[in-house]
């Protein structure tokens, strides 16, 4: 039945733009997969079917659903299903778990729900930390691949947190006294890190330049502001944050 549902989806996704009828078919397939996975939750030995179902949901949503609200509903549900499956919540599936968590965060951001995105990212990071502690308590020694998977998971979720936190940390109440802000990259001194508030936040969240650069990319690629595609925001504090992000990114690339 899951194979038939996937075949129907493959037939529909050939169209670059879905009609209302085709979209309705995709949603019916997603709901059908959701019903099947709810039945599989009762049987741990069928966890591989839950994995396949979650994979199909993620692909279907990312390829066919342009509406972030619709996409969020299914991605959130897939995340909960994953967490309820004990055999799947292991280091072996960590890259996929984090991919799903980040997809939920991106949906929140696209839906202009940045607060919920950061909250979900912090919750997801807590889940990953809990999983790491359970692995430490087991008698199985951690491999280099496992350690790398946990580090990558922390970096990716840290970037989802940084994406909002870097802007919100600089916002001031409208009645607050405003100090003179930087207006160009030349206003940022050519000195060792950390030179700015943004760089101090980067160093607090990430212990590698690769992680810091990912955080910068996420913060600059904001679907609600588009700072790299359109003009700068009106708020002077946000303008300064963007300049600091650009300066930090240039420093990492040139260093």
| Domain ranges, ordered by start, for the chain | 2-165, 185-254
Q: Give the Cα separation of 123 and 137 in Å (integer).
A: 21
Q: Is 106 exposed, middle or buried (0-12, 13-18, 19+ CB in 10 A)?
A: buried
| Tens of each residue's pLDDT in the chain, 255 residues | 878 888 887 787 777 677 888 888 888 888 888 888 888 888 888 888 888 888 878 877 776 777 778 889 889 989 988 998 989 998 889 999 999 999 999 999 998 899 999 999 999 999 999 999 888 887 777 788 899 999 999 999 999 999 999 998 877 655 555 555 665 667 677 778 888 899 999 999 999 999 999 999 999 986 665 666 666 777 778 888 888 999 999 999 988
Query: How distant is the alpha carbon of residue 92 from its chain centre?
Result: 19
Helix axes 144-168, 114-137, angle to 10 degrees: 150
Residue 109 has which token pair? 């951001």
Q: Give the Cα separation of 123 and 46 in Å (integer).
A: 27
Q: Give the Cα separation of 37 and 100 in Å (integer).
A: 16
What is the enclosing helix (H) or strand (E) of 108? helix 94-110
Fold of the 2-165 domain:
1.25.40
């Amino acid at each position: 039945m899951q194979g038939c549902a996937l075949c129907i989806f493959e037939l529909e996704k050939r169209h670059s733009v879905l009609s209302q009828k085709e979209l309705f078919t995709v949603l019916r397939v997603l709901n059908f997969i959701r019903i099947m996975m709810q039945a599989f939750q009762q049987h741990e030995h069928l966890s591989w079917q839950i994995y396949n179902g979650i994979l199909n949901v993620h692909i279907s949503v990312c390829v066919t659903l342009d509406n972030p609200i619709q996409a969020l509903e299914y991605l959130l549900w897939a995340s909960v299903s994953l967490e309820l499956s004990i055999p799947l919540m292991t280091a072996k599936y960590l890259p996929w778990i984090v991919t799903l968590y980040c997809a939920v965060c991106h949906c929140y951001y696209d839906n202009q729900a940045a607060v919920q995105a950061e909250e979900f990212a912090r919750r997801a990071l807590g889940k990953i930390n809990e999983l790491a502690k359970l692995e430490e308590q087991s008698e199985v020694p951690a491999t280099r691949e496992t350690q790398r998977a946990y580090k990558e998971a922390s970096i990716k979720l840290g970037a989802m947190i940084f994406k909002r936190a870097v802007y919100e940390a600089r916002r001031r109440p409208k009645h607050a006294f405003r100090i003179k802000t930087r207006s160009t990259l030349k206003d940022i001194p050519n000195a060792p890190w950390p030179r700015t508030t943004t760089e101090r936040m980067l160093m607090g969240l990430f212990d590698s330049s690769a992680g810091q650069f990912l955080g910068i990319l996420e913060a600059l690629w904001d679907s609600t502001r588009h700072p790299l595609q359109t003009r700068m925001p009106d708020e002077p504090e946000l303008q300064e944050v963007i300049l600091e992000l650009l300066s930090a990114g240039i420093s990492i690339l040139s260093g």
